[in-house]
Each structure stands twice: as C-alpha cells, then as structure tokens.
C-alpha cells in the first residue's frame, strides 16, 4: 500500500501531447482525450502494456490509432486502465463520464457555488481522464471547453486563448493551448459567470502581459490588493532572481470552495477566495499580508514548480520549500524584515516543531507515503524553506544568486529532485554540502545546548555548542548537521561588541558573525573583549533548531531592551516570559518578578523601535507553545498562568497601556456610527499596520482587567472602527465578557457583527472562528449550536476550518476539557467529513494525534476517540495513514 522513494522508476511511456475536450455540465460532464504516447527510451521495457491512472471514471469509448478496442484488449479497475500490448508510438483516445456536482472531495472537477473548477495537485487529474498522472510526464495540452453559454459565459484553461465559437442549443466553445509542456497536476479549467478586473505588466525585456483576475460579480471591488500584489511579485522576481513571466496572459480565479490556499496551475492560478478578496472594512491587516504572500507564492511557482518541476512527490519540497522561501523574502521586502521573520519563526515553532516531535514526523524529503495529500505539511513547506534559507546564508548573496541562476539554466523544462537543487548550490559555489544533505533526510528538530565561560584576565569568552536530535519514528539514530549559527556579542551598556575569533584578525567593527556548526560538540573562542559579553545567539533564526543557553534574567532583559537584531530581541522577550509563565504554572500564585514588569514597561515606552516589532516583543508566548515546553502539557495550568500574567501586566501598567493605546489610536480614521462613513481612508501601509498591531495588543491587555472606562473604549473601537483589524480586535475584547455578568455586551456585539456581515462569507468565517476560540466555559456548547446554524456548511472548507478547526486547533483550554467533550466533538465531525472530503478530514484530525503529550486521563480519552475512528468501516486512506502513525508508533 505505501509508495516508496526507493521504488522510483522512470515512466515506461511518455505523453507528448494531450488534446482534451470537456462537454461541461454540473451533473454530468463528458471528457474526451486524445493522447500522443510513445515508449520512453530512457526506461526499462516492462510487459509491453500501458497502465494509465484513472479514478471514479466511467469509460464510454476507447480507441488506439483510430481502432476501437474490444474489451479483451484492456482491463479497467478502480484505479487503473491497462491496455495490453501497445506499439512504441500511438494515439489513444478515450471518452469518460464524470459527475462534478457529486464531487465533495474537491479534487478533480467540482462545483463551487455556480461555477465549475478543478484542483489537480497532487493526483486529482486522474479523476477527469485516464492519464499518466505523475509529475515526470510532461505533455503539451490543447483544451476545448464546451458549455451552456448563459450559465458558463467564461471558459478558461491554461496557456493562450485560441478561439471561441457559438454553438447551437445555447452552448458555446472555447479553445486554449498551452505552449509549455507540463505535468498533469498543473492542468486547470474554470467555467462560470464571472466578473473580471484587468491590468497589465511590462516585463524587464519589454513584453506586455495581460493580467486577468476573475471572481463572482459581487466581489469585483475587492480585488485591488491582489492585483497590486501580483504586479509587485512579478517585478520582485525579475529583480531578485532574474525571472520573467513567459506567457502573454496570467489569470487568477477566486473560488469559495477550496481545500488549500491556492494552486499554481500554469497561467491560470486558482485561489481560495480568502487569499484574493479584501477591503479594509472586511479584511484584517493579517488578511492583507496573507493575500500578498499567497499571490506571490503562486506566481513564483511559475519558475520554481512549473518551468522546473518535481520528479516525483517525494521531491515536493523542491518546489514548495524554495517557493515558500521566495515568498517569505518577498514579504520581508514589502513589509519589514524583522517582523516578517518573527512571524515565520513563530509559525515554524507553533506548527513544524510539534510535527517534528510527534508521530507524524518525517524528513523534508519523505521516503514513503500512503496518501500524498497527507504530506503537504509544514515540514515540507516551512522547514523546507528553512533549508533553502540556510543554504542561501552559507553561500552568501552573490553565490546564492549564481547558484539559482545555474539551477534555472540547467534544469529548465525538467522534472528534478532536491538533490539536483543542492548540487547546483555546490557547483556554483564550490562549497561541499555533503553533510548539509542530512537536513533533507533526517526528521526531528536539532537541539543546540550552549554554555559559555569568561576569562577576565585574557578577555576571552568561550562558547561551547553541543547538538543532538532526538529519535523520530523510524529514525532512532541521528548524525550532526551542518548549519549556520549567526551571533553577536552585547556589552553591559547594551552596545554591540566586536566578534573576533581566536587566531583571526580583528573585525572592522561590531556586528553579526556567522559560525558554521558541523560537529556534535564545538568550542568557539572569542578574544579581545574588555568585559563579559551577553551572547545574542541564533540571530535572524539562522537555523531551525531549539537553542538553549543558561541566560540570567538580567541578561535576557538586556537583550530584550537592546539587541539590534529584532528576531533575537523578540526571542529574548519570549524566553523571559516563558520562564515567568512556567514558574506560575508550577506555583500559581507567584507574582511576576518586578524585573519582568520593568522590562515590559520599558519596551512599551520605547519610542524609537518599530511599533510592529514591539507588538511582537510584548506578546506572550501562545498557550500551545508553552505546552510544547513542558514534559506533559498542563492545559489548564498554562491557561490560568497566562491569563493571570496578562491581568498583572494590565493592572501594573494600566496607565502606560492606555497612553500608548490613545497615542496610536489617534492615527486611525473612525466611522461615524450613524452614517457608517469614514472621515479619511484607512492607511494600509506597513507602518500603519504596525501601529494597529501595537494598539490592539494594548487593548488585549487592558481587556484582561476591564473597568468601565476600558470597556467603553473597547465598545467604541468596535462600533466606530474603519478597518476590520480594529473591529475584530474590539470584538475579541468584548467576547471575553461571555459567561460573565456583563455577557450582554458580548452578545450585542456578536449580533451586530452578524447582522452587518451575514452576506459576506469570509467575514462570517471570522464570526464563527472568534466564537470557537473563546476560552469562556460555555464554548463547547456554543460550538455545537453553531454546527446547526443556518450559515454553517460542512461542504465549505473555509467554514469547516473556521468553526471546527478554530475550536480544535485554536482553543486548547476548551478543546482539552477534562471530560473529553472537545475530543468527542472533533472525532464526530471528522467521521462525518471523511466520506465527503478525506483530505480536509485528515487535516482537522491533527490536534488529536498529539495525544501522547497529555496527562494519562486525557491520553485515554483522546486515544479512545482515535481508536473509535479507526474501527469505522471504509475510512479513507488519508485517515487510515494518520491514525496508523499516531496509534501504532
Ligand atoms: N501547490 C499548492 C501550493 O502550495 C498547494 C496544492 C495543495 N494540494 C494538495 N493536494 N494538498 O501553492
Ligand atoms: Zn506552493
């Protein structure tokens, strides 16, 4: 049943050209394919038969070189079509029937609202026609779409539009041709009654590219930001990687039913509407940033994914890791480098580190899978991006650029491996990355244990670094890895000191130095120092590791106040807060040390620093991150401690918080509640977003100890906000009053929010999510009610994620309720979803897979739900694989 990397064989046959015709209809679509097939000269000769992939297809006709095949010459089963004894070169024609409206898995051709659309990656194409559905088979596609002209006036596919015709019976036809050979997973079609906004882009070499963005007509005024982001991404890729777009037309279609974020189909990206549609009134600053990054991500795939694709799905990180790295760097250039990096590190720690430490741990290049959809993971994506980032750092900017130039030149038009990528890094730089390759093969997060000693007489500071990685499933032994360790040294007055290694000449000035780790234990000796420094370690988070160093509170405070590296400054604050919080978990009534409150007050009052950075520095580590730092997660203790510390901060620093709040709030336009109109346009610059982030952080603290004045302020912000960022922050504050004696304020705001936005699906998702995430005791009951709400739909993945996902993955204290009610709810919903949309069901299950991290009684409850799911008849391979890994490990 599992597919294994070591079993890879080149395809026995190749498909040079695929002519497809879709007679489109929601209930019943007919797909005709004419495939030009030939034997692959580079492959071993098999038994002479041709095996095509095909699932849920009703075969109506089959002909080889225009001869209809009799049933004795082929075999069809659930997953394949085998044609016995084929010539070395031939044309195969098939005709099949499929049922888009019955396709709830949202893979292959399906309906979203009134439109028809496709999602093929990884193996959805085989649900539309018989094919060699693997990425190393690259064909030129010519596509004819036929559909009702009124229902589906817009007909789109990859490449260039060739021709359109009106047909009898109210139907019409469109022909598309894609000049670039591509694997089937990059195929797409869309049909619907869609609005379009247009723009154009002139490439560096002077070619005009038409940019078309399609959406449901009522959303046409919400696409400006996506279009601007696209143009910024196109320019950025030219400037940073020398990559130009290669067709005359680039299209994006926003659809409301989508399993993932978006899909990079050649020339026709299909997007979850969440990553396209935005206006200041309906989308938060985070949503705006998410759109820019996903638009850029999918656009960047045109080179890293499409022009150069993956040989097989074990190589997924070849395109995803590199493309995530590219979109992260794009966002850093757009919004602010430190804050972007902090957000990326926070996400990595919140999702990838637990994955690496749990039953689903796998290398960036996995070696086996049952269902490939289970491997679109944060390890493949975000840790994969870290691997590219480390190589970029080891090479330095010039050599890294030379290496990517070489990669694009050497492999354009090919389906390649992560090994090919690393070899380009080596060939262009002369570096030896033999040991670095272990990062692709070994799962698990390395731990760096650091200690230091100071020899005052000599002015020498010695840093010892030991690395180890705990075993992961199937990998008991780990070897040391090669990685960059960026560091600086900070003096007592907060100034940077020069970093000079023994035996090396003195550096020109103070600053960051990149060391290379390769051994299990390494010692570095820094000389020429006049005082004992505080080391600022892992600057910029130079490697995806857990670093431990025995800092004193005073040293952390110093870094938190003065480290010029924003990531290290943030990280020092996180460590300090973590220390205070974990102590409070153990001894609930400990007050926070005054030094902590002072450091916090100092940061809050720092007028020099970027407010966006301060918002990160002053945010306490999340409950789940704190849980990851414990032997067994004490869900309730962590929640209690974190809330208590917030109350203490809010009480001790009420005046400072209010002052900063008001100073920042003055920048915002407000709406007149009655007229619902703003005096000014909201400012969406990174600076304005940073100000809102810090302001709303202050509001979040203040609402932990709300007196009447603070309550009024929160209500006023909710009611007069000109942006969704401010409105949702107000609502988040008010929702805290649920299950208190001021509950009616929360209910009023929720009702108001619903009435304002019940017509806007993406905003309504926020309404569901914010309720599912509330830590109020009644939340589980409310989630059950919301599952029966008229606006809940199990068929819409965004809605499912915003209710069930937000509850299970975003509300630790309610999901882990000691009676197991949260677990039961998740298991029931996963069971309900699995037959409809297994990919989504398998993803939603994740919080339960971490069962071993909890106390014995919760373990038993979680495990029972997992066993219950496994005992069900006919569970999907997706679920089967995840359950097996987390129960049998
Ligand atoms: N390639 C897409 C992206 O990262 C994601 C496709 C996800 N498909 C899947 N079957 N999980 O941009
Ligand atoms: Zn991607």
- Specify the pLDDT at position 676: 62
pLDDT of residue 677: 67
| Cα gap 143→157, rounded to integer Å | 7
Indicate which atom in ligand 1 lies nearest the CA of residue 297.
12
Q: Given this model, what pLDDT does residue 289 score?
A: 98
Crossing angle of helices 724-735 and 285-300, rounded to 10°: 120
pLDDT at residue 675 in the model: 57
743 pLDDT above the threshold of 60: yes
CA of 602 to the centre of ligand 1 (A): 44
Q: How far apart are CA 709 and CA 282, in angstroms?
A: 27
Q: Read off the pLDDT of residues 111-128 as tens digits, 9 standing for 90 and up.
A: 999 999 999 999 999 999
Give the per-residue pLDDT at 729.
Answer: 98
**Ligand 1 contacts CB of residue 298 (under 6 A):** yes
Backbone angles phi, psi at 190, to 5 degrees: -140, 135
Atom of ligand 1 nearest to the CA of 262: 12
Q: Is 264 in the pocket of ligand 1 (CB under 6 A)?
A: yes
How confident is the model over 152-171, as pLDDT tens digits?
Answer: 999 999 999 999 999 999 99
The answer to whether residue 301 scores a pLDDT higher than 60 is yes
- Does residue 371 line the site of ligand 1, with CB under 6 A? no
Atom of ligand 1 nearest to the CA of 320: 4
The arithmetic mean of pLDDT across residues 329-333, rounded, is 98
The answer to whether 870 and 887 are in contact (CB under 8 A) is yes
**Which residues contact residue 427 at a Cβ distance below 8 angstroms, ignoring those fewer than 6 apart?**
403, 406
Q: What's the pTM? A: 0.98
| 123 close to ligand 1 (CB < 6 Angstrom) | no
Averaged pLDDT for residues 663-667: 96
What's the CA-to-centroid distance between 320 and ligand 2, angstroms?
A: 5
Which ligand has an atom closest to residue 304 CA?
Answer: 2
Distance (Å) from CA 668 to ligand 1 centroid = 37
Ligand 1 touching residue 376 (CB < 6 A): yes
Going by C-beta distance under 8 Å and a sequence separation of 6 or more, which residues neighbour residue 683?
667
Q: Which of 118, 376, 881 to mutate to test the pocket of ligand 1 (most atoms within 8 A of CB)?
A: 376
User: Atom 3 of ligand 1 has which residue's CA nearest to it?
Assistant: 263
Decide if pLDDT at 147 tops 60: yes
Q: Which ligand is nearest to the CA of 121?
A: 1
Is 598 a residue whose pLDDT tops 80? yes
Q: Ligand 1, atom 5: nearest CA belongs to which residue? A: 263
| Best mutation site among 107, 118, 121 for ligand 1 pocket (most ligand atoms within 8 Å of CB) | 121
**Segment 238-258, tens digit of pLDDT:** 999 999 999 999 999 999 999
**CA of residue 324 to ligand 2 center, whole Å:** 7
From the CA of 298, how far away is ligand 2's center (Å)?
A: 6
Q: Quick check: CB of 121 below 6 Å from ligand 1?
A: yes
pLDDT at 386 exceeding the cut of 70: yes
For residue 357, the model assigns a pLDDT of: 98
| Ligand 1 pocket member 807 (CB < 6 A) | no
Q: Average pLDDT of 647-665? A: 98
What is the CA(135)–ligand 1 centre distance, in A?
A: 14
Residues whose CB falls within 8 Å of the CB of residue 301, separated by 6 or more in sequence, listed in order: 264, 319, 323
Q: Torsion over CA of 129, 880, 840 and 96, rounded to 10 degrees?
A: 10
pLDDT at 663: 98
| Ligand 1 atom having least distance to the Cα of 107 | 10
For all residues of the chain together, what is the average pLDDT? Answer: 97
Q: How confident is the model at residue 839 (pLDDT cuts 50, 70, 90)?
A: very high
CA distance 294 to 273: 11
Q: At what angle do helices 224-241 and 316-335 cross, to 10 degrees?
A: 110
Residue 320 CB less than 6 A away from ligand 1: yes
Check if 735 has its Cβ closer than 6 Å to any atom of ligand 1. no
Pairing of strands 513-517, 80-83: unpaired
> Counting ligands in written order, which one lies closest to the CA of residue 327?
2
Please give the backbone phi and psi of residue 174, each rounded to the nearest 5 degrees, phi first.
-135, 140
**Local confidence band at 889 (pLDDT 50, 70, 90 cut-offs):** confident
Verify whether ligand 1 is closer than 6 Å to residue 373 (CB atom): yes
Mean pLDDT of 357-371: 98
Task: In whole angstroms, give the CA distance from residue 112 to residue 215.
Answer: 12
pLDDT tens per residue across span 47-77: 989 999 999 999 999 999 999 999 999 999 9
**What's the token pair of residue 527?**
């000389």
- Taking the C-alpha atoms of residue 699 and residue 702, their distance in angstroms, rounded to an integer, is 5
- The full 3-state SS of 758-795, as one line of letters, equals CCCHHHHHHHHHHHHCCCCCCHHHHHHHHHCCCCCCCC
Mean pLDDT confidence for 14-32: 99
The string of pLDDT tens digits covering residues 72-92 is 999 999 999 999 999 999 999
At residue 32, what are phi and psi to the nearest 5 degrees? -110, 135
> 741 CA distance to ligand 2 centroid (A)?
47
Question: Is the C-beta atom of 263 inside 6 A of ligand 1?
Answer: yes
ipTM of the complex: 0.98
Residues 806, 774: contact at Cβ < 8 Å? no
Percent of the chain's residues with pLDDT above 70 = 99
Overall size of the chain counted in residues: 889
Q: What residues are annotated to the active site?
A: 298
Instruction: For ligand 1, pick from 123, 182, 260 the residue to mutate: most ligand atoms within 8 Å of CB.
Output: 260
pLDDT tens by residue, 672-720: 765 566 678 899 999 999 999 999 999 999 999 999 999 999 999 999 9
Average pLDDT for 526-544 = 97
Contact predicate 528/543, CB 8 Å: no
Distance 879 CA to ligand 1 centre (A): 18
Q: What residue owns the CA closest to ligand 1's atom 12?
A: 263
- Ligand 1: atom nearest CA of 381 is 4
Q: Is residue 574 pLDDT above 70, yes or no?
A: yes
Kind and range of the H or E element at 263? Answer: strand 262-263
**Ligand 2 center to residue 116 CA distance, Å?**
22
- Summarised one tens digit per residue, pLDDT across range 797-810 is 999 999 999 999 99
Helices (H), 743-876: 743-757, 761-772, 779-787, 797-800, 806-810, 812-815, 821-833, 838-844, 846-849, 856-870
390 Cβ below 6 A of ligand 1: no
Shortest-distance ligand to the CA of residue 260: 1
Is ligand 1 within 6 A of the CB of residue 329? no
Alpha helices in 520-610 (DSSP H): 553-562, 566-586, 594-604
């Amino acid at each position: 049943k599992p597919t294994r990397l070591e079993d890879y064989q080149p395809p026995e046959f190749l498909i040079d050209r695929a002519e497809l015709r879709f007679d489109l209809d929601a209930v019943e679509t007919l797909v005709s394919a004419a495939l030009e097939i030939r034997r692959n000269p580079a492959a071993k000769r098999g038994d002479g038969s041709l095996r095509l992939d095909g699932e849920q297809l009703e075969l109506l006709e089959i002909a080889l070189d225009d001869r209809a095949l009799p049933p004795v010459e082929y075999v069809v089963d659930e997953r394949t079509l085998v044609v016995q004894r084929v010539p070395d070169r031939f044309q195969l024609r098939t005709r099949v029937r499929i049922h888009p409206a019955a396709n709830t898995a949202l893979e292959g051709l399906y309906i979203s609202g009134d439109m028809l659309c496709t999602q093929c990656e990884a193996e959805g194409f085989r649900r539309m026609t018989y094919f060699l559905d693997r990425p190393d088979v690259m064909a030129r596609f010519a596509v004819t779409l036929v559909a009702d002209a009124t229902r589906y006036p817009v007909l789109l596919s990859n490449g260039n539009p060739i021709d359109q015709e009106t047909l009898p019976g109210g139907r019409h036809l469109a022909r598309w041709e894609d000049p670039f050979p591509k694997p089937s997973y990059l195929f797409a079609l869309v049909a619907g009654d869609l609005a379009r906004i247009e723009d154009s882009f002139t490439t560096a070499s002077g070619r005009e590219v038409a940019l078309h963005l399609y959406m449901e007509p009522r959303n046409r005024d919400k696409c400006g930001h996506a279009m601007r982001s696209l143009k910024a991404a196109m320019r950025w890729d030219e400037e940073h990687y020398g990559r130009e777009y290669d067709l005359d037309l680039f299209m994006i279609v926003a659809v409301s039913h989508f399993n993932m974020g978006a899909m990079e189909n050649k020339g026709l990206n299909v997007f979850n509407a969440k990553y396209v549609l935005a206006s200041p009134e309906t989308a938060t600053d985070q949503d705006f940033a998410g759109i820019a990054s996903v638009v850029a991500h999918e656009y960047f795939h045109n080179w890293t994914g499409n022009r150069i694709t993956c040989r097989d799905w074990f190589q997924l990180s070849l395109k995803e890791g590199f493309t995530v790295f590219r979109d992260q760097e794009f966002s850093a250039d757009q919004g602010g480098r430190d804050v972007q990096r902090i957000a990326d590190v926070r996400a990595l720690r919140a999702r990838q580190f637990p994955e690496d430490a749990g039953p689903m741990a796998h290398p960036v290049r996995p070696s086996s899978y049952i269902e490939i959809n289970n491997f679109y993971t944060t390890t493949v994506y975000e840790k994969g991006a870290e691997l590219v980032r480390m190589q970029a750092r080891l090479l330095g900017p010039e050599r890294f650029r030379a290496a990517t130039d070489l990669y694009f030149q050497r492999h354009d038009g090919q389906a390649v491996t992560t090994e090919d990528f690393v070899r380009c890094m080596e060939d262009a730089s002369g570096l030896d990355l033999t040991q670095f390759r272990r990062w692709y093969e070994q799962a698990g997060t390395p731990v760096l244990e650091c200690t230091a000693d100071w020899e005052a007489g000599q002015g020498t500071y010695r840093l010892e670094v030991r690395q180890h990685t705990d075993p992961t499933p199937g990998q008991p032994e780990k070897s040391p890895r090669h990685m960059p360790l960026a560091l600086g040294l900070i003096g007592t007055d907060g100034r940077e000191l020069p970093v000079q290694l023994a035996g090396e000449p003195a550096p020109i000035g103070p600053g960051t130095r990149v060391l290379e780790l390769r051994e299990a234990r390494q010692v570095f000796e820094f000389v020429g120092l006049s005082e004992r420094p505080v080391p600022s370690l892992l600057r910029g988070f130079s490697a995806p590791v857990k670093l431990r160093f025995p800092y004193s509170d005073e040293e952390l405070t110093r870094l938190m106040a003065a480290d010029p590296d924003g990531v290290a400054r943030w990280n020092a604050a996180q460590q300090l807060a973590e220390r205070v919080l974990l102590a409070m978990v153990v001894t609930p009534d400990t007050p926070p040390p005054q030094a902590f409150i002072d450091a916090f007050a100092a940061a809050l009052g720092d007028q020099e620093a970027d407010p966006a950075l301060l918002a990160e520095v002053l945010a306490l580590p999340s409950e789940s991150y704190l849980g990851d730092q414990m032997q067994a997660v004490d869900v309730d203790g962590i929640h209690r401690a974190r809330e208590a510390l917030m109350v203490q901060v809010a009480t001790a620093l009420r005046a400072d918080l209010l002052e900063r709040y008001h100073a920042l709030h003055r920048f915002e336009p407000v709406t007149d509640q009655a007229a619902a109109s703003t005096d000014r346009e909201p400012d969406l610059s990174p600076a304005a977003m940073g100000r809102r982030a810090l302001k709303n952080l202050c509001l979040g603290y203040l609402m932990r100890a709300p007196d009447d004045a603070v309550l009024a302020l929160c209500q006023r912000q909710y009611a007069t906000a000109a942006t969704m960022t401010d409105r949702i922050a107000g609502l988040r504050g008010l929702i805290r009053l649920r299950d208190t004696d001021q509950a009616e304020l929360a209910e009023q705001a929720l009702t108001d929010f619903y009435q304002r936005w019940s017509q806007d699906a993406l905003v309504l998702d926020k309404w569901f999510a914010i309720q599912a995430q509330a830590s109020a005791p009644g939340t589980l009951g409310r989630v059950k009610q919301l599952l029966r709400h008229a606006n809940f739909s199990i068929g819409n993945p965004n809605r499912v994620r915003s209710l069930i996902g937000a509850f299970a993955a975003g509300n630790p204290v309610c999901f882990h309720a000691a009676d197991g009610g949260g677990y039961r709810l998740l298991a029931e919903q996963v069971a309900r979803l699995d037959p409809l949309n297994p990919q989504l069901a398998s993803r939603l299950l994740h919080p339960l897979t971490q069962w071993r991290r909890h106390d014995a009684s919760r373990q038993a409850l979680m495990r029972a739900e997992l066993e219950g799911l496994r005992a069900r008849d006919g569970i999907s391979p997706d679920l089967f694989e995840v359950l097996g890994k987390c129960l049998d490990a």
